[in-house]
A = this chain, B = another copy of it.
């Protein structure tokens, strides 16, 4: 039995096979691959977008979904997360999808269950399904030719689990990842090149991945307002000029903070394609882990 806690749970070959399925699922029509399967969605952090994508993916495959709002009941009765999981596991679901604010929590549950665990985001640690859909969008855009491509991840790199997963996943497919961030949002480590401003490398990059500025994850106030951040880090028409750059964002986009209104309408910006791909890739992941 296989889990998906971080992208390293899948080999490069497995990921390419996954993408073959995702390609078949791209129109998002329904099939019967997971008829009779039950998937429990445990979202301790609220997320309309990711929860919906997982739910639609499961239902398009013919599976049933049970969404547990665990926060409201079990926890108010003082139950530990491990007891909650042991109980859900005793009801014998075919998979458990979990989002939690604590780094590493989904991985620590593996030994307590008899079904695949899928990490739908854990704190600032990892968001493997997002990174896989980002990679899939890049692979499709470059028709598989990802070797040597340069990807600039811009924004709150420090607390982004999307950055956390992508910086490990993309280099496995020959890409070079660098970060663009103000000092307060910089990655703590020196394995990646880091820049203060996108202008320093705009002429070299093939992909810009803008991140959502998540002020709620910081304990200190770094900017007087998001507008101050936006002055230097918002991706605008001026930033890209005529360059052939693929612009991505995990959503939801802070309009005119992360990306400008105009750039969101620009054909180089593929944020909605990422959303569609997100369902297709999750369908492929669920099919792989459950069937």
Stretch in contact with the other chain, from A59-67, A120-128, A149-157, A185-193: A59-67
A92 near B48 with CB under 8 A, answer: no
Say if the beta carbon of A27 comes within 8 Å of chain B: yes
A73 near B56 with CB under 8 A, answer: no
B49 near A74 with CB under 8 A, answer: yes
B49 near A87 with CB under 8 A, answer: yes
Q: A279 — which chain B residues lie within 8 A by C-beta?
A: 91-92
Given the known inter-chain contacts A29-B36, A83-B252, please indicate yes or no for A70 contacting B48, CB distance below 8 A.
yes
B64 near A59 with CB under 8 A, answer: yes
Say if the beta carbon of A2 comes within 8 Å of chain B: no
How distant is the Cα of A184 from the Cα of B269 in the complex, in angstroms?
52
Say if the beta carbon of A290 comes within 8 Å of chain B: no
Q: A252 — which chain B residues lie within 8 A by C-beta?
A: 74, 77-79, 83, 87
Identical copies of this chain, number: 3
Q: A1 — which chain B residues lie within 8 A by C-beta?
A: none
| Size category of the binding interface on chain A | 35 or more
B36 near A88 with CB under 8 A, answer: no
B88 near A66 with CB under 8 A, answer: no
CB closest chain-B residue, reference A80: B255
Given the known inter-chain contacts A90-B276, A252-B83, please indicate yes or no for A38 contacting B64, CB distance below 8 A.
no
CB closest chain-B residue, reference A279: B91
Complex interface residues of chain A between 67 and 108 (CB less than 8 A to chain B): 68-70, 72-74, 76-80, 83-84, 86-88, 90-93
How distant is the Cα of A69 from the Cα of B52 in the complex, in angstroms?
10
A-B contact pairs, 29 of them (CB 8 A): A28-B91, A28-B92, A29-B36, A30-B37, A30-B38, A38-B56, A38-B60, A40-B52, A46-B72, A46-B73, A48-B68, A48-B70, A48-B74, A49-B74, A52-B88, A55-B66, A56-B66, A56-B92, A56-B93, A59-B64, A74-B252, A77-B252, A78-B252, A78-B254, A83-B253, A87-B251, A87-B275, A90-B272, A90-B273
**Interchain residue pairs A-B with the least CB separation, the first 3:** A30-B36, A90-B275, A48-B73
